[in-house]
Structure 1
Amino acid sequence: MALLLMAASAPPPTVEVSVIGLRNTKGQILVCLTTNPKAFPDCSKDKGAVRMAVKAVDAGDFLIHAPAAGTYAIAVVHDENSNNKLDVAIFLPKEGFGFSRNPAITVGPPSFKSASFAVTGDMRQSIKMKYML
């Protein structure tokens, strides 16, 4: 019985994220953690997603508290002008972006499958930023 109580009261898993390759420390990093492949990489259609903003100067390491164990993917945007969106010019992102597992980027965002990872306890993800312009 005591083992059941300890398991029931275990805190949700934490993902420590390290964002590398920022071209500057202006603005903020918009973060999306989702289990929903249809809502990736834009979490706006996922009410269960964890969305947060982190000051770019603090993006070296920060924590995301996952709601529970599961398969997640992370998308980040370097929102340099702090307008809470990814700015584009002629269909190309003007600001940086990155994804968990650092999948290859060809045309458009990667699939959920290529960016997803299993969260069974506390873990770490290192995300490399990409800039098109």
Structure 2
Amino acid sequence: MGKGLRFSVLLLAVMGNLLWPLNAKANFNGKLTVEIDGLRNKVGQVCASIFAGSQGFPSNRDRILQRQCTKIDDTSLKISFDNLKAGNYAVAVMHDQNSDLNLNRNDLGMPVEGFGFSRNPEVRTSAPKFSDAAIFVAGPNTNIQIQLKYL
């Protein structure tokens, strides 16, 4: 084998080894665990929805990537989302006290059930933007905490 051919084979082997970790990361799926604190009571259920982009965040059901609801057995609970590709996500949580899968509001449009968002952004007159609630999931296990708010 000539020197040029040996160099080419060596170069391909080195490049293949360098690219393998990048391909492995591209195919990687992680888990996001959301700890939800501040429940006012154990009535109803808690629903958490994860969004992969700003379109529809936080309330358009057609844009939800994954949604999970769980009965409340304590004033702090955890919900996990599996098989997430590396990237930015935002989570919206509600304390669905009457189990109707809606964040109920009063006549003025103010929520009457508890709610919260990833990164716990301050909420004044409207829901936060995706960028205010976005978290980056890149490893096998990402853990966040959301503190529910009641108005």
CA distance in 2, matches of 1:64, 1:56: 18
TM-score, structure 1 length as denominator?
A: 0.87
> How far is the alpha carbon of 1:38 from its aligned partner?
1.5
Structure 1 residue 127 corresponds to structure 2 residue 141: no
Over the matched positions of the two proteins, sequence identity in percent amounts to 33
> How far is the alpha carbon of 1:45 from its aligned partner?
2.6
CA distance in 1, matches of 2:119, 2:69: 20
Mean alpha-carbon deviation: is it higher for 85-94 or for 95-104? 85-94
> How far is the alpha carbon of 1:62 from its aligned partner?
2.4
Structure 1 residue 63 corresponds to structure 2 residue 72: no
Q: Runs of at least 4 residues of structure 1 off by over 4 A?
A: 1-6
CA distance in 1, matches of 2:73, 2:57: 25
Contiguous gaps of at least 5 residues in structure 1: none
Conservation of the 8 A alpha-carbon contact between 2:68 and 2:79:
no
Q: 2:103 aligns with which of 78, 86, 91?
A: 86
Structure 1 counterpart of 2:133, which letter?
A: A
TM-score, structure 2 length as denominator?
A: 0.77
CA distance in 2, matches of 1:29, 1:120: 26
User: Structure 1 or 2: larger helix share?
Assistant: 2
Counting matched residue pairs gives 131
Supply the RMSD in Å over aligned alpha carbons.
Answer: 2.4
Which of 1 and 2 has greater Rg? 2
Mean alpha-carbon deviation: is it higher for 63-72 or for 19-28? 63-72
